Amino acid sequence: MSFDLEQTDELLSTTRAVRRRLDLERDVPDDLLLRCIELAEQAPSGGDISSRRWLVIRDPETKKQLADLYRAAGGNGVMERAEQHRGTGHPKQGVLESAAHLAANLERVPVLVLATVWGVHDGSGRPGLFDSVIQAAWSFCLALRARGLGSAWTTLHLGKAKEFAEILGIPDGVTQVVLLPVAWTIGTEFKPASRRPASEIVWFDRWGYTKETLGDVESLIAAGPGVTVEIDIAAPPERVWELASDINISARFSSEFQGAEWIDADGPREGASFIGKNKRTDVNREWETTSYVVACDPPRVFAWNVNDRDEPSAQWRFELEKIPGGTRLRQRLIIGPRLSATGHAMKDNPDRAQQILASRQEQHRGNMALNLQGIKSLAENGA
Ligand SMILES: Cc1cc2nc3c(=O)[nH]c(=O)nc-3n(C[C@H](O)[C@H](O)[C@H](O)COP(=O)(O)O)c2cc1C
């Protein structure tokens, strides 16, 4: 048997949170739900013990009670925020309006499916609960999508799990994991969401070690090896940006940093260049580089290429992402493609190339972590 990858990939990439396009008028037959749950039950479970239990809720009065609890547990807040953001062009406006629509209409969705599991969290860290339900519940969502139905993963109600349990007669010792409103979808075309490319979030062999180029490459450097370090900072992106884009602050916690100076500008802007002075005591080397700012988009991205704008020996990039309560600051480094001192050392010692690269990656990772920690301290405490 060989799979039609075009179809399976389409299924995997377009199973969206469907809320506004749930058909509230068309009934969903039981046998279809049971078939989808049967497929979902093929998912693995801790200890290979059948502990998942699924509640299919259609009774209008029960759905109304559950929907009221969903709103009380957070749905009302979502509806208020959607109202505040309406027409403002806020990046989360679409999701908020969609979530608010579901909160306002939950009782009108033909079926609510509650996925639960026998067991309670014992804090042991062993698999057993969420990890025995989530994979099955997601398979259920995929099976629905393949048949023209849709759902949205919801957990807001968990703040009222006790009340849910009373209404539905769920015994003690059972944990609720996800509430899936199920309906036929209005139209079946859905688009893949915009997500971070895998190369930016996959580490090879060690935390933070990246590869930009996959497949057959003629050398380790051609694979685009790099390092990514991230930190969450309790300060707004604008404040973090000031520090990350200041060439005399953003690297100064590194053991190699000796100072930096703008050549043809007095601050960060695309196209500007700066001199960086560096020192490594382990190899007894001092050197200067010229760097070229290749992206400057406050308060999101600040990036520069070292030695040559188009064929750099290193590519550095700060990325700032607004998260609840602050900013996620990410610094990415790609080594090469032009050979730097490390690249030359690798070329001259082919049998030790992997080791030379890994040790340089480790040095960079340590320095980058110090810099991000320093930026965090400055942004949060000014110290
Ligand atoms: C753990 C988890 C909890 C969620 N809880 C809710 C919820 O309570 N209500 C809701 O409308 N959406 C909820 N969502 C759906 C997300 O908002 C959804 O993934 C997001 O809108 C992105 O949609 P997309 O998957 O179609 O790109 C939840 C998703 C996850 C993974």
Question: pLDDT-based confidence at 81, cuts 50/70/90?
Answer: very high
Residues paired with 334 in a beta bridge: 226, 315
CA 16 / ligand 1 centre spacing (Å): 9
* Residue 60, pLDDT score: 98
User: Which homologous superfamily is 5-184 in?
Assistant: NADH Oxidase (3.40.109.10)
pLDDT tens-digit readout, 37-46: 999 999 998 8
CA 99 / ligand 1 centre spacing (Å): 8
pLDDT tens-digit readout, 254-311: 989 999 999 988 899 999 999 999 999 888 889 999 999 999 999 999 999 999 999 9
Q: Which CATH code is given to the segment(s) 198-381? A: 3.30.530.20
Query: Which residue puts its alpha carbon closest to atom 21 of ligand 1?
Result: 95
Fold match between 5-184 and 198-381? no
Across the range 83-96, mean pLDDT stands at 89
Taking all residues of the chain, what is their mean pLDDT, rounded to a whole number? 94
Tell me how far CA of residue 301 lies from CA of 115, 158, 240, 311, in angstroms: 41, 37, 11, 20
The b-or-e profile of 178-213 (16+ CB within 10 A means b, else e) is bbbbbbbbeeeebeeeeeeeeeeeeeeeeebbbbbe
Rounded to whole angstroms, how far apart are CA atoms 218 and 246? 37
Question: pLDDT-based confidence at 126, cuts 50/70/90?
Answer: low
Percentage of the chain exceeding pLDDT 70: 97
Name every protein residue with a CB atom under 6 angstroms from any ligand 1 atom.
16-17, 95, 99, 102, 152-156, 193
Query: Which residue puts its alpha carbon closest to atom 15 of ligand 1?
Result: 153
DSSP SS3 for 109 = coil
Tell the residue number behind the tokens 């209008």, with chain if given. 60
- Using alpha carbons only, give the angle 280, 284, 289 rounded to the nearest 5 degrees: 50
- Out of 12, 114, 154, mutate this one to test ligand 1's pocket (max ligand atoms within 8 Å of CB): namely 154
Domains in the chain: boundaries: 5-184, 198-381
* pTM of this structure: 0.87
CA 165 / ligand 1 centre spacing (Å): 22
Atom of ligand 1 nearest to the CA of 103: 11
Question: pLDDT-based confidence at 129, cuts 50/70/90?
Answer: low
